[in-house]
Chains A and B, each alone.
Chain A
Amino acid sequence: MLQLIVAGLTVGSGYALVALGIHIILRATRIVNFAQGEFVIAGGLLAYSITTWLHASIWVALAGATTIGFGLGLAFERFVLRPAARVGETAETIATIGTVYVLLYGHALIWGSLPQPLPFFSGGERDRLFTLGGVELGAQQLWALALLVVALAVLRLFFDRTTYGKAIRAAANNPLGARLVGIDVDRARAVSVGIAIALAAFGGTLIGPITLVGGAGGVAISIKGFVGAIVGGLDSPLGCTLGGLFVGVLEKLLEGRYGYGIAEPIVYSLLLVTLLVRPAGFFGSRRAVRD
């Protein structure tokens, strides 16, 4: 069972990254980005291209994918979210759903419909395995978890310690107050989305070697990322992260016990139940969900 938990934490870190990205975008734009998982896949695929077409190392690919992700995020905010926001919230939500299609099949157009392999961080085509206390661990899993923690720490530092990070939080918290203090609220929004998508791309490169990137995987990652965000609490970064990990572990445990297919409906039922019983999630604050 410990093995399952470890596997769960690995996929869970992917969901946690999605959930965290959703949280950041929600804070900045007040809508949920249904396409977040697709951006994760996009990041992984970009990293793949950097390693195979440019023959660069995986670390260069990681940096490259993250940077391109940031740019993608800026473009996404400027050309999809902002115009749609002028029409209305429903329009914005629908626009992100449209983006799912663009990305999902766009990936297939550029990279083909088969999932692509990424080189492992420890080097080479195969993962380095070792056993610890009866549990088999892959080096990549450790890399993924470690880098995830690093990313979270960096984000935490940015949003909690730097002036611009706080300015972004201020703009999301109170746009009018932010304007009266001289903060450019539109730019803050754009940067937030950029960061969220950069995070997605980062995550895609991390888990890519394990789960392979491409194919139809993005939608499932998106959705399970949501579930994690809802269960943990949409407005709490810690909640989103823990929620994502929780969903991953739950999924693997259920799969182990009951077989592959049954896990998904149960996870989705968890979503509905949480929405009904405690829409703010376990770590979220009791803000009006119906507003």
Chain B
Amino acid sequence: MRDRLRADARLLPFIAAAVAVFGVLLRGDANLMQAATFAAIDSVPAIGLSLLLGNVAQISLGQAGFFGIGAYTLGLLTTLGEPPGMPPWLAFALGTGAGTLLAAAFGLLLGVIALRFRGHYLAMATLAFGLIAAGVFRESPQLGGAGGIQNIPFPQLGPLTIAGGAAFWYAWAMVALAAWLATNLLRGQSGWAFEAIRNDELAAEAIGVPTRRYKIAAFTFAGGLAGFAGSFYSAYLGTIDPSAVGVSLSIDFLLMVVLGGAGGVAGAIMGATLIGVANVYGHELENWRPVIYGVLVIVVVVFFPNGLAGLVRRPRRRTGARVNGAAALARTQLSAPSAPAQAAEPACWLAVENVSKTFGGLVAVDGVSFALRSGTLSSLIGPNGAGKTTLFNAVCGIGKVDAGRVLVAGRDVTAWRPHRIAGLRVGRSFQNARLFGDMTVLENVAAGAFVLEGATIGADLFGLPASRRCVRAARERAAAVVASLGLEPLAGICAKDLAFGDRRRVELARALAAGPRLLLLDEPAAGLNAAERARLRDDLLALRARGLTLLLIEHDMRLVMEVSDRVMVLDFGRLIADGAPQAVREDPRVVAAYLGTASA
């Protein structure tokens, strides 16, 4: 993840220098300056889309709509709205502000709508938005109908009319502003949240990321940027033609971002410039140009998913074949600094009351009740398909229960979203180690620590000290947890390159980073060899010694017998045994459930 930001850090100074050089050397050539100004105007919405598509993995075909909203708002206000005495610079400022805010507001609306969709449905929903906007622009008589708006006064900054060369500098200043805002977001807690959502939305929720909030924020930001650019565009051009802000523009933005490289800022700028330049100078090529774009998009998306900017990124540190950290890791005692203690530890961290869950006709969980005492380690066992993971999911807020209640620390969390439950100091691991593949081990663990911090999105956006502090604190905490689990040798390795046994350990570290008091582990021993299992056993006992409440789903009976205070057996969704490990093992019903009976 950091390598995207590093690529930006390397490329942006070049881009800035190139712009400066260009602006100074070529100010005589009006055509070139104009082309460069348009490139800048296009870069701003492209940056927004790059963040949406590349960092949050939300495809949007509606950027042109927001661009148009900005353009039309400024156009209307400056041609029709102002009282006659208003100075032009104020009109321009108001128009820009209104255009940006209105576009952002619609961005927020689209973000809310977009929550419901994924994949091609999301593409279609955003496309629909763009089409509706285009249609409204084209058909509304108030907006000038097909003719658009004419005679929009030039942009004014104080006494200065922004035209020609000045427009070039102003436009690129806009790009600088957009880049600054985007980079702030990506450097702050928001950037981590985006990356987590992009890699594995479910895991992000499980570690406490309010995924909905961040997705809406991304759409709002992208919309606002597009509106900001759009308002300048209409003033710069002096007219608005509705066909210029139609769906083809949305697809152009997509092209720019795909070719330049989605995610981060530099790719968007390069893509916008490339397409902008090609459009101006490829004029003779007329119809060849889009065909080439189309072919390029297909080729790039398949072979160079990171676009132009991706070519600049240093190839990630490969660590040879799957690294197995087992040899390198010393057996260390689990001794992470504990999070600030609760005022009073509740007697019972988790209580499940008569919980049932059905899928279609199949009853997965059938009236299960139990309560876990604080500081105990309980195991949930049972044959395949008995409903164990379903029960876990219900406790964590993944999937609604059909009946019953779940209480965490005494609070009824039955209808809560997963990230809220995580906020109650509940940590969880998954059956198949859901790590954030594109993040390093350290970054994964740091992502887990964020639920303890709490920088607001606004603080991130403006790069306020609170934002930096929050990221620093999370990293420090992560480093401590990584050290306590003996994972330092792996800290800089990308999660997707890890060996299996290490993945589980990293997931545990991530869950521990938030200082949980209740830990739910789904088959933590699955796939581990003997040495790894022994280490897991030690870790679990150490965690219990620290006062955590643990609930395990496990199939490894030896481990279960060695660490559990209490064993609960689920069969066909029902709790058939609940008690001390030895007793449960001897229980004939349990034996029958596992081994079957002679007469079936």
Given a CB threshold of 8 Å, the question of whether A touches B is answered with yes
Residues on A lying within 8 angstroms of B by beta carbon are 31-32, 34, 80, 83-84, 86-87, 89-91, 93-95, 97-106, 108-109, 113, 219, 223, 226, 230, 261-262, 264-265, 268-269, 271-272, 275-276, 279, 289-291
Q: What is the distance, in angstroms, from A286's C-beta to the closest C-beta of chain B?
A: 12
Given A32-B124, A113-B287, A275-B116, 8 other A-B residues pairs in contact with their CB atoms under 8 A:
A80-B298, A84-B302, A97-B251, A106-B291, A223-B131, A261-B138, A265-B131, A279-B117
Task: Give the residue among B123, B254, B255, B293 with the most A Cβ atoms within 10 A.
Answer: B123
Q: B97-130 interface mask toward A, CB cutoff 8 Å, 1 = contact, 0 = none?
A: 0000000000000000100111111011101110
Q: What is the distance, in angstroms, from A235's C-beta to the closest C-beta of chain B?
A: 12
Q: Which of A99, A105, A268 contacts B128 (CB 8 A)?
A: A268
Q: Which of B136, B146, B247, B294 contacts A102 (CB 8 A)?
A: B294
Residues of B within 8 A of A80 (CB): 298
Whether the pair A264, B305 counts as a contact (CB closer than 8 A) is: no
Interchain CA distance A84-B300 in the complex, whole Å: 10
Interchain CA distance A91-B298 in the complex, whole Å: 9
Pairs across A and B, CB under 8 Å, 21 listed: A32-B120, A32-B123, A34-B123, A89-B119, A89-B120, A93-B123, A94-B258, A94-B301, A95-B302, A97-B254, A100-B251, A100-B294, A101-B294, A102-B298, A105-B288, A105-B289, A108-B287, A109-B287, A219-B247, A268-B132, A279-B116
Whether the pair B121, A93 counts as a contact (CB closer than 8 A) is: no
Contact A31 to B120, CB < 8 A, known contacts A268-B128, A272-B128? yes
B547 CB-CB contact with A under 8 Å: no
Q: Which of A95, A100, A101, A275 contacts B125 (CB 8 A)?
A: A275
Interchain CA distance A269-B247 in the complex, whole Å: 15
Whether the pair A105, B290 counts as a contact (CB closer than 8 A) is: yes
Whether the pair B120, A98 counts as a contact (CB closer than 8 A) is: no
Interface size of B by Cβ–Cβ distance < 8 Å?
42
B41 CB-CB contact with A under 8 Å: no
Q: B445-463 interface mask toward A, CB cutoff 8 Å, 1 = contact, 0 = none?
A: 0000000000000000000
Interchain CA distance A217-B52 in the complex, whole Å: 30
Interchain CA distance A265-B131 in the complex, whole Å: 7
Whether the pair B294, A99 counts as a contact (CB closer than 8 A) is: yes
Q: What is the distance, in angstroms, from A77's C-beta to the closest C-beta of chain B?
A: 13
Q: What is the distance, in angstroms, from A127's C-beta to the closest C-beta of chain B?
A: 30
Contact A105 to B294, CB < 8 A, known contacts A262-B139, A279-B116? yes
Interchain CA distance A34-B59 in the complex, whole Å: 14
Interchain CA distance A263-B575 in the complex, whole Å: 60
Whether the pair A261, B146 counts as a contact (CB closer than 8 A) is: yes
Q: What is the distance, in angstroms, from B197's C-beta to the closest C-beta of chain A?
A: 14
Residues of A within 8 A of B119 (CB): 31, 89-90, 93
Whether the pair B139, A265 counts as a contact (CB closer than 8 A) is: yes
Residues of B within 8 A of A105 (CB): 287-291, 294
Q: Which of A87, A102, A108, A279 contacts B305 (CB 8 A)?
A: A87
Whether the pair B117, A265 counts as a contact (CB closer than 8 A) is: no
Residues on B lying within 8 angstroms of A by beta carbon are 53, 57, 59, 113, 116-121, 123-125, 127-129, 131-132, 135-136, 138-139, 146, 247, 251, 254-255, 258, 287-291, 293-298, 301-302, 305
Residues of A within 8 A of B125 (CB): 272, 275
Interchain CA distance A219-B290 in the complex, whole Å: 14
Task: Give the residue among B129, B138, B255, B302 with the most A Cβ atoms within 10 A.
Answer: B302
Residues of A within 8 A of B132 (CB): 265, 268-269, 272
Whether the pair A98, B116 counts as a contact (CB closer than 8 A) is: no
Contact A102 to B57, CB < 8 A, known contacts A97-B254, A268-B131? no
Whether the pair B128, A91 counts as a contact (CB closer than 8 A) is: no
Residues of B within 8 A of A289 (CB): 116-118, 121
Q: What is the distance, in angstroms, from A228's C-beta to the closest C-beta of chain B?
A: 13
Interchain CA distance A94-B121 in the complex, whole Å: 13
Q: Which residue of A lies closest to B246 (CB)?
A: A219
Whether the pair B120, A275 counts as a contact (CB closer than 8 A) is: no
Whether the pair A275, B117 counts as a contact (CB closer than 8 A) is: yes
Residues of B within 8 A of A84 (CB): 298, 301-302
Q: Which of B118, B288, B294, B297 contacts A290 (CB 8 A)?
A: B118
Whether the pair B295, A102 counts as a contact (CB closer than 8 A) is: yes
Residues of A within 8 A of B117 (CB): 275, 279, 289-290
Q: Which of A32, A34, A100, A264 contacts B131 (CB 8 A)?
A: A264
Interchain CA distance A184-B577 in the complex, whole Å: 47
Q: Which of B59, B116, B138, B293 contacts A94 (CB 8 A)?
A: B59
Q: Which residue of B lies closest to A103 (CB)?
A: B294
Contact A93 to B120, CB < 8 A, known contacts A261-B138, A268-B128? yes
Q: Which residue of B lies closest to A86 (CB)?
A: B302
Whether the pair A264, B121 counts as a contact (CB closer than 8 A) is: no
Whether the pair A98, B287 counts as a contact (CB closer than 8 A) is: no
Interchain CA distance A262-B140 in the complex, whole Å: 9
Whether the pair B294, A291 counts as a contact (CB closer than 8 A) is: no
Interchain CA distance A97-B120 in the complex, whole Å: 11
